[in-house]
Amino acid sequence: MKEMDAIQVLLDAYNLDILTKLHDSKSLIPIKDLLSYLQQRGFKINEKELIERVEALKALGLIFEPGLAGYASQDRLIVSSEFLPRLRGEIALPSLRGTIPQVKSLDEGYDPLIKELEKLLERVEQIKKERIDEIQMILNGINPRLADHFTDVLCSPEFESYYSGSQWNTADMRCYNRHDSFHAINVTFYALKITGILLRALNSEDLKKYYTLFNLEKGDKTDLYFLLTQAGLWHDVGNAVDRRQHEVHSCQLALDHLKKSLSKVYDDNPKKYYRLLTEILRAIYLHNLEEECLSLESATLRVADAIDCSYLRAGINGKESIKRVLDTDQSTHVFGCLSISDVQIREGKASEGDGKYIEIIFIINKKWAPYLRTSSAWSQLQDVVKKKVHSIGSPASDFFKLKIKDGEEWHTLL
């Protein structure tokens, strides 16, 4: 097998976990057990996708079917002996996701990382305040009333209460990424920033074509920013009820406040009132699904939610939380975020003919490289971010270029 093929296989966290599980298993492992293992680790994969990956790994000669008597050969797999040295080298790398459970104490070798994490996560409240100021500046530039409505949501008793429950039900209890008000504020900021770029890039005909509000009910920029602000702030409150179908719960929990906010602005325009209400609920409902988005409003929120994936999204806080993440084996996405130091949004160069209006750049965290596999970041970006952005459907997905900056190297993700 070519060296480059081996590198690409090991950069893919799905492949790495498949190979590692097969390597660690003391007996031949069926596909169904391998699927269950991956799903328990937080990977979004079905049996068909797993079989496709397995076939690709077989084609590269990395795994094979032993064909032992009494076993269905297509159902049992082991790692190729030729690839074992390379795989064992990767498994032996210092990695929070891969090897810490076998370390007797977290203080042995990983204490510098834990201390650095604690310092960074202490800054979350300050960064949150800075984000709020940035959003208010954007909204004041469109219409001062928008900033007032934004503040009304932040000050409402249900907003922080719902997100407190959401954080408890995800990051605290299940060791997932952050799903609190800070995440909601970040998503809102990203959605507004993306919208500003698109409004400058698209002509009036394209605006009517891609934005539902501009095509129906004669919506304007104020309406659009109101929609995305409300949808961004409320999109994840449903996690307070349950992680499963949280999109539906978010719509239900947000409904009363949305009606109150809309009545203050659109009480004299019932058509626009109800149109905005349904578009906000649709954006919330679609933000985590794989259905194609039929408008840029919904597409923008899904992209904004996907790209909130830097270290600030990690829902851990201190040594005990890190231990719990490892104990419950739910570290895939948490450490994927820790591997990304920054997310940057800037105007693309659509004038060059590629149609990419927006560039989103993910900076790999090289400082923590000794502790985190590069594949953690690649897993987060390939299997969550890229998948979500691609799922919004064309032509909206064609507006975005996703790039990765890994030290001095640049990679194009989409």
Mean pLDDT of 238-263: 94
- The confidence score (pLDDT) of residue 102 equals 34
Selected residue with higher pLDDT from 176 and 331: 176
Mean pLDDT of 130-145: 96
Mean pLDDT of 162-190: 90
Mean pLDDT of 67-77: 41
Q: Helix (H, G, I), strand (E, B), or coil: what is residue 79? A: strand
* Torsion 134-137-143-145 (CA) sign: positive
Selected residue with higher pLDDT from 112 and 137: 137
Confidence of residue 21 (pLDDT cuts 50, 70, 90): confident
Q: Are 345 and 359 in contact (CB under 8 A)?
A: yes
Token pair for 397? 């997905």
CA distance 43 to 32: 14
Selected residue with higher pLDDT from 175 and 217: 175
Q: Are 375 and 15 in contact (CB under 8 A)?
A: no
CA distance 246 to 190: 21
- The confidence score (pLDDT) of residue 4 equals 46
Q: Helix (H, G, I), strand (E, B), or coil: what is residue 63? A: strand
As a whole number, the mean pLDDT across the chain is: 78
Per the document, the length of the chain is: 414
Token pair for 15? 């492949």
Does residue 107 carry a pLDDT above 50?
A: no
Q: Are 136 and 150 in contact (CB under 8 A)?
A: yes
Mean pLDDT of 370-392: 73
Mean pLDDT of 169-194: 90
Using a pLDDT cut of 90, give the percent of the chain over it.
35
Does residue 20 carry a pLDDT above 50?
A: yes
Q: Helix (H, G, I), strand (E, B), or coil: what is residue 287? A: coil
Give the tens place of pLDDT for each residue, 223-250.
999 999 999 999 999 999 998 899 999 9
Q: Are 31 and 48 in contact (CB under 8 A)?
A: no
CA distance 272 to 89: 60
Mean pLDDT of 29-34: 77
Lowest mean pLDDT among 3-7, 27-31, 400-404: 3-7
Question: Which residue in 364, 378, 352, 347 sits closest to 406, CA to CA?
Answer: 364
Does residue 381 carry a pLDDT above 70?
A: yes
Q: Which class in CATH covers the domain with range 3-92?
A: mainly alpha
Mean pLDDT of 306-325: 74
Confidence of residue 36 (pLDDT cuts 50, 70, 90): confident
* Torsion 47-53-58-62 (CA) sign: negative
Q: Helix (H, G, I), strand (E, B), or coil: what is residue 359? A: strand
Q: What is the CA radius of gyration of the chain?
A: 23
**Residue 2 burial by Cβ neighbours in a 10 Å radius (0-12, 13-18, 19+):** exposed
Mean pLDDT of 190-199: 96
Q: How far, CA to CA in Å, does 179 sit from each of 246, 249, 272, 387, 408?
A: 11, 14, 31, 20, 32
Selected residue with higher pLDDT from 208 and 367: 208
Lowest mean pLDDT among 219-228, 323-332, 357-366, 381-390: 323-332
DSSP for 227-270 reads HHHHHHHHTTGGGGT-STTHHHHHHHHHHHHHHHHHHHHHTT-H
Confidence of residue 77 (pLDDT cuts 50, 70, 90): low
Question: Which residue in 236, 241, 227, 239 sits closest to 299, CA to CA?
Answer: 227
Question: Which residue in 281, 309, 291, 308 sits closest to 390, CA to CA?
Answer: 291
Selected residue with higher pLDDT from 252 and 366: 252
Token pair for 16? 């790495």
